[in-house]
């Protein structure tokens, strides 16, 4: 049975301000889900909360992955369970090469979901880890780079440091290809890309698509869905998923905008009174 | 081994009588005794520096140190290299050095220099012997222009009680490619150890000097290292002085390092301040010669209750001089670091270019850093810039690494490595770079050293296997597809 990411009634705040107000969503391995919605509807927050970003406080609800409630797990443990987030704004880390970083990440992810929470190891130190031999790593990375048509010069550069917008997004996809997640969250991967870059990134995602990979594709616009056909489309509004449908829902949104989906004032009034 | 005689330790405490006794035991010429006595007067009459109001208090802490509980002179009788030094020597500079000089406590116990350099007139010896054998050179350069006796109370104390010491003279035109290694090893408890490096690079000569300071003081009573480094770069001379200070937590350290430049001379100081309980560092470049250039590359790492005060000075006194000061450090636990970086441009120093940047990265909420850059500019054709910052580790960067499966302690370590790496790249000697990386990672990992080793080994493996591309078989090997793995 494939892995499932199940989100139940998820509520989350940032600095006391509620952003997620009861999200329900299920993404299965092998499926591509598009999550659409206007700015400020909580899409990026959802991705961050699923990965355990400490900036956000979860006030209610559950996140299940592979049959475990991962809400209390640290971000690294979630990643080692093969959850992945392609960031909307990838951080640059000067002085750390992509190659070294990716090799460490690969080693970590291959260790899998071990209870290596901080504090559980009384010394607070690392367990001795099984390393990925440089040759094996290089061969693997080489193959992924060829698949994604990424330039070799990438890997000796500092992580995202001085990368153009398009390069950053492609570096995220390269990481995704290498780390082989079971569920990947892609946060506005299309934003800031010109049409050529968008095509390349979309082709890359399509190349990775398969029964082993579930994708939650977060996007503001329909345009990426011209290249990546989703199995399911969800619409998020004011911290909730308010509508789900097939790929034709995306086209409908493109045509009509989000206005028609907004809850009526009457509904809002009812909600406010309730 | 003519320089080593049977000498007796002095009684505890610094006194004028102790100065006289020390000089008598060493059989010094009268001028050196007089220099010591004058220095003693200065020490006695000078108040200890106390720092500014509202600073982190390192200078006041040093001022309250119980100097009078120290033995001012701790000679050793054996010339055998301590095992720890032998081990350290095996780790470092396996691929050649021009010379080696070792001080154990107050005594220089070993000195060697390759024959070729001896024939060219290079002198490497202990400073006590140099006083007897090269009195003119010593009289002219020892604590006169570079670090004058009167620089501070602590330099005066040093001048009154110095012993051992390194003396290096490189004649005009002689270029020394392989570094000269100096080791200072201290294990005398409750003692003041005075270490001195006097380096004279005559016109158009060049040299590299690497000094490593280590200590292992048993018991609870701290010892003090009072260190002075004087570098004279004569016309067009090039000097590279690297310093790895890895003293233990039972050692206090006061060091003044300065370079004096003649026309077109250049000096690079590499400063790695890792150890000691309380550490008072003054490091300067006196750019007196037209066209001279000074560079300071500094790295520090503090943890536990360590307290550092680091002051740098780029003193531009002539036409068309350059200086660059780059300092980076990590503070963790309850440690505190004060950094004062001064650029001074005197009226005659037109066409000056001076740059200073200092950054402290705080890994703990309890660590405190105070970084203050200063500029005094009295000339008008000047290009000078400075920046000094301290900041906590970036939580968003940490989150990014953790989302890739890396645990927080390791993510912190990766960020720290990235923070240091650009400055480590500025260190010319590769073995020092590798040692520093290893030290930093070991400090980040506490006692868990195997993990530090895997990272460094990985690093070295990259470097080794990266060039061994022939052994790797791709489906269709093509030159432009090869991943060239560099030192990151």
pLDDT in tens, B271-301: 999 999 999 999 999 999 999 999 999 999 9
User: Does residue B392 register a pLDDT over 70?
Assistant: yes
User: Does residue A271 register a pLDDT over 60?
Assistant: no
Number of structural domains in chain A: 1
Q: Which helix (H) or strand (E) holds A196?
A: helix A195-208
The least confident of B308-317, B318-327, B379-388 is B379-388
Q: Write down the ipTM of this complex.
A: 0.92
Q: What is the token pair recorded at B264?
A: 């077109």
Residues B338 and B464 in one domain: no
Which of A104-113, A137-146, A241-250, B230-239 has the largest mean confidence? B230-239
List of chain B residues whose C-beta atoms are within 8 Å of the C-beta of residue A138: 472, 483, 485
List of chain B residues whose C-beta atoms are within 8 Å of the C-beta of residue A101: 401, 404, 414
Rounded to two decimals, what is the model's pTM? 0.85
Residues B339 and B460 in one domain: no
Residues B41 and B102 in one domain: yes
When CB atoms are compared, the residue of A79, A94, A126 closest to B418 is: A94
When CB atoms are compared, the residue of A95, A135, A175 closest to B472 is: A135
User: Does residue A117 register a pLDDT over 50?
Assistant: no
Spatial distance between the Cα atoms of B217 and A45, rounded to a whole number of angstroms: 54
With respect to residue B3, please indicate whether it lies within any of the assigned structural domains. Answer: no
3-class secondary structure per residue, B353-384: EEEEEEEEEECCCCCEEEEEEEEEECCCCEEE
Mean pLDDT over residues B349-354, rounded? Answer: 96
User: Does residue A235 register a pLDDT over 90?
Assistant: yes
CATH number at residue A254: 3.40.50.300
Shortest distance, CA B437 to any CA of chain A (angstroms): 13
With respect to residue A169, please indicate whether it lies within any of the assigned structural domains. Answer: no
With respect to residue A130, please indicate whether it lies within any of the assigned structural domains. Answer: no
With respect to residue B387, please indicate whether it lies within any of the assigned structural domains. Answer: yes
With respect to residue B438, please indicate whether it lies within any of the assigned structural domains. Answer: yes
Neighbours of A29 (CB within 10 A): 20
Q: What is the pLDDT of residues B362-378, one digit of tens each?
A: 999 999 999 999 999 99
Number of structural domains in chain B: 2
Residue with tokens 């009509």: A256
List of chain A residues whose C-beta atoms are within 8 Å of the C-beta of residue B419: 94-95
Its domain, for residue A36, covers: 4-96+180-273
Residues B297 and B152 in one domain: yes
With respect to residue B10, please indicate whether it lies within any of the assigned structural domains. Answer: no
Q: What is the pLDDT of residues B219-277, one digit of tens each?
A: 889 999 999 999 999 999 999 999 999 999 999 999 999 999 999 999 999 999 999 99
Instruction: Give the end of a domain, one of B418, B449, B469.
Output: B418
With respect to residue A173, please indicate whether it lies within any of the assigned structural domains. Answer: no
Spatial distance between the Cα atoms of B137 and B36, rounded to a whole number of angstroms: 17
Q: Which helix (H) or strand (E) holds A59?
A: strand A56-65
User: Does residue B139 register a pLDDT over 50?
Assistant: yes
What count of CB pairs under 8 Å joins A to B?
146
Spatial distance between the Cα atoms of B221 and B456, rounded to a whole number of angstroms: 35
pLDDT at A118: 45
Residues B25 and B103 in one domain: yes
Q: What is the token pair recorded at B243?
A: 């310093």
Q: For residue B305, which of B213, B214, B368 has the smallest C-alpha distance?
A: B368
Instruction: Give the end of a domain, one of B384, B418, B452.
Output: B418
pLDDT at A202: 92
With respect to residue B2, please indicate whether it lies within any of the assigned structural domains. Answer: no
Residues B315 and B443 in one domain: no
pLDDT at A182: 97
Mean pLDDT over residues A199-212, rounded? Answer: 92
Q: What is the pLDDT of residues A63-88, one digit of tens each?
A: 999 999 999 999 999 999 999 999 99
The least confident of A11-20, A130-139, B137-146 is A130-139
When CB atoms are compared, the residue of B397, B422, B472 closest to A91 is: B397
When CB atoms are compared, the residue of B417, B451, B465 closest to A126 is: B451
> For residue B369, what are the contacts with CB-CB under 8 A and spacing of at least 6?
B329, B331, B336, B337, B338, B339, B360, B362, B390
Instruction: Give the end of a domain, one of B365, B396, B418.
Output: B418
Q: Which of A54, A83, A126, A149 should be substituted to probe chain B, the one whose Cβ sees the most B Cβ atoms within 10 Å?
A: A126
DSSP class of residue A226?
Answer: G
With respect to residue A90, please indicate whether it lies within any of the assigned structural domains. Answer: yes
Residues B169 and B308 in one domain: yes
With respect to residue B4, please indicate whether it lies within any of the assigned structural domains. Answer: no
pLDDT at B468: 31
List of chain B residues whose C-beta atoms are within 8 Å of the C-beta of residue A126: 407, 409-410, 445, 448, 451
pLDDT at B25: 93
User: Does residue A220 register a pLDDT over 60?
Assistant: yes
When CB atoms are compared, the residue of A90, A105, A155 closest to B405 is: A105
With respect to residue B259, please indicate whether it lies within any of the assigned structural domains. Answer: yes
Shortest distance, CA A12 to any CA of chain B (angstroms): 18
User: Does residue A210 register a pLDDT over 50?
Assistant: yes
Pairing relationship of beta strands B238-246 and B123-126 according to DSSP bridges: unpaired
User: Does residue B27 register a pLDDT over 80?
Assistant: yes
With respect to residue A152, please indicate whether it lies within any of the assigned structural domains. Answer: no
Interface of A with B in 18-47 (CB under 8 A): none
Residue A261 in contact with residue A235, Cβ under 8 Å?
yes
Q: For chain B, what is the mean pLDDT?
A: 88
The least confident of A83-87, A150-154, B234-238, B408-412 is A150-154
Residues B302 and B156 in one domain: yes
User: Does residue A265 register a pLDDT over 70?
Assistant: no
Residues B43 and B91 in one domain: yes
> For residue B396, what are the contacts with CB-CB under 8 A and spacing of at least 6?
A91
Q: For residue B127, which of B20, B36, B252 has the smallest C-alpha distance?
A: B36
Per the model's pLDDT, the better-predicted residue between A4 and A164 turns out to be A4
With respect to residue A65, please indicate whether it lies within any of the assigned structural domains. Answer: yes
Q: For residue B255, which of B206, B217, B298, B218 has the smallest C-alpha distance?
A: B298
Residues B225 and B160 in one domain: yes
Residues B358 and B447 in one domain: no
pLDDT at A194: 87
Q: Which of B400, B404, B462, B479 should be substituted to probe chain A, the one whose Cβ sees the most A Cβ atoms within 10 Å?
A: B404
Residues B50 and B93 in one domain: yes
Q: What percent of chain B has pLDDT over 70?
A: 88
When CB atoms are compared, the residue of B404, B454, B480 closest to A79 is: B404
Mean pLDDT over residues A106-110, rounded? Answer: 91
List of chain A residues whose C-beta atoms are within 8 Å of the C-beta of residue B405: 76, 79-80, 105, 108-109, 111, 179
Per the model's pLDDT, the better-predicted residue between B379 and B92 turns out to be B379
List of chain A residues whose C-beta atoms are within 8 Å of the C-beta of residue B468: none
Report CB contact under 8 Å: B472, A152. no
Its domain, for residue B432, covers: 419-488
Mean pLDDT over residues A23-38, rounded? Answer: 96
Residue with tokens 């780390």: A179
With respect to residue B356, please indicate whether it lies within any of the assigned structural domains. Answer: yes
User: Does residue A4 register a pLDDT over 50?
Assistant: yes
User: Does residue B471 register a pLDDT over 80?
Assistant: no
Per the model's pLDDT, the better-predicted residue between B26 and B54 turns out to be B26
Spatial distance between the Cα atoms of A209 and A206, rounded to a whole number of angstroms: 5
Pairing relationship of beta strands A17-28 and A214-219 according to DSSP bridges: unpaired
């Amino acid at each position: 049975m494939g892995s499932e990411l199940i989100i139940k009634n998820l509520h989350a705040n940032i600095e006391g301000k509620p952003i997620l107000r009861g999200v329900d969503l299920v993404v299965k391995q092998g499926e591509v889900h598009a999550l659409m919605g206007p700015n400020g509807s909580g899409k990026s927050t959802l991705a961050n909360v699923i990965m355990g970003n400490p900036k956000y406080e979860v006030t209610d609800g559950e996140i299940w992955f592979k049959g475990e409630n991962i809400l209390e797990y640290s971000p690294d443990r979630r990643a080692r369970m093969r959850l992945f987030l392609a960031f909307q704004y990838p951080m640059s880390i000067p002085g750390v090469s992509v190659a070294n970083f990716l090799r460490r990440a690969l080693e970590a992810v291959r260790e899998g979901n071990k209870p290596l929470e901080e504090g559980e190891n009384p010394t607070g130190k690392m367990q001795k880890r099984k390393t990925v031999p440089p040759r094996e790593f290089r061969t693997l990375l080489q193959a992924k780079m060829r698949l994604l048509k990424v330039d070799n010069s990438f890997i000796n550069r500092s992580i995202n440091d001085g990368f153009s917008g398009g390069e950053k997004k492609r570096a995220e996809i390269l990481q995704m290809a290498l780390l082989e997640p079971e569920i990947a969250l892609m946060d506005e991967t299309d934003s800031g890309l010109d049409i050529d870059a968008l095509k390349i990134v979309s082709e890359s995602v399509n190349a990775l698509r398969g029964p082993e990979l579930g994708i939650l594709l977060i996007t503001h616009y329909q345009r990426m869905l011209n290249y990546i056909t989703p199995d399911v489309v969800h619409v998020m509004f004011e911290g909730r998923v308010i509508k789900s449908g097939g790929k034709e829902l995306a086209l409908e949104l493109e045509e009509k905008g989000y206005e028609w989906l907004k809850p009526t004032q009457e509904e809002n009034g009812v909600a406010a009174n309730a | 081994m003519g320089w080593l005689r049977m000498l007796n330790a002095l009684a505890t405490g610094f006194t004028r009588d102790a100065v006289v006794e020390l000089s008598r035991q060493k059989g010094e010429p009268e001028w050196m005794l007089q220099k010591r006595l004058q220095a003693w007067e200065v020490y006695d009459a000078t108040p200890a520096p106390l720092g500014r109001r509202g600073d982190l208090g390192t200078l006041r802490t040093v001022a309250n140190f119980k100097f009078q509980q120290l033995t001012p002179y701790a000679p050793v009788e054996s010339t055998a290299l301590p095992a720890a030094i032998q081990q350290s020597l095996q780790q470092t500079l396996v691929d050649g050095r021009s010379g080696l000089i070792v001080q154990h406590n107050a005594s220089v116990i070993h000195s060697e220099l390759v024959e070729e350099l001896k024939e060219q007139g290079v002198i490497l010896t202990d400073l006590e012997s140099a006083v007897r054998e090269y009195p003119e050179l010593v009289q002219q350069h020892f604590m006169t222009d570079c670090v004058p006796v009167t620089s501070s109370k602590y330099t005066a104390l040093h001048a009154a009680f110095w012993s051992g010491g390194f003396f290096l003279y490189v004649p005009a035109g002689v270029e020394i490619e392989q570094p000269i290694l100096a080791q200072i090893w201290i294990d005398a408890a409750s003692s003041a150890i005075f270490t001195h490096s006097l380096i004279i690079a005559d016109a158009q000569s060049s040299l590299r000097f690497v000094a490593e300071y280590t200590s292992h003081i048993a018991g609870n009573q701290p010892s003090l290292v009072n260190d002075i480094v004087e570098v004279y770069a004569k016309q067009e001379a090039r000097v590279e002085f690297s310093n790895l200070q890895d003293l233990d937590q039972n050692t206090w350290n006061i060091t003044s390092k300065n370079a004096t430049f003649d026309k077109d001379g250049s000096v690079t100081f590499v400063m790695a301040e890792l150890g000691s309980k309380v550490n008072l560092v003054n490091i300067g470049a006196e750019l007196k010669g037209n066209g001279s250039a000074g560079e300071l590359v500094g790295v520090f790492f503090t943890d536990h209750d360590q307290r550092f005060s680091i002051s740098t000075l780029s003193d531009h006194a002539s036409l068309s001089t350059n200086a660059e000061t780059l300092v980076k450090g990590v503070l963790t636990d309850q440690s505190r670091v004060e950094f004062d970086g001064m650029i001074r441009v005197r009226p005659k120093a037109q066409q000056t270019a001076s740059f200073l940047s200092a950054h402290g990265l705080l890994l703990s909420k309890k660590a405190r850093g105070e970084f203050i850059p200063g500029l005094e500019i009295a000339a008008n054709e000047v290009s000078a810039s400075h920046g000094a910052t301290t900041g906590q580790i970036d939580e968003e960067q940490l989150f990014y690494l953790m989302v890739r499966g890396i645990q927080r302690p390791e993510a912190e370590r990766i960020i720290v490595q990235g923070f240091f790496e650009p400055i480590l790249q500025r260190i010319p000697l590769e073995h020092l770079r590798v040692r520093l990386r290893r030290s930093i990672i070991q400090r980040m990992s506490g006692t868990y050293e195997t993990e530090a080793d895997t990272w460094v080994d990985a690093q070295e493996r990259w470097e080794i296997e990266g060039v061994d591309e022939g052994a790797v078989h791709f489906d269709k090997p093509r030159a432009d597809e090869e991943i060239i793995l560099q030192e990151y």
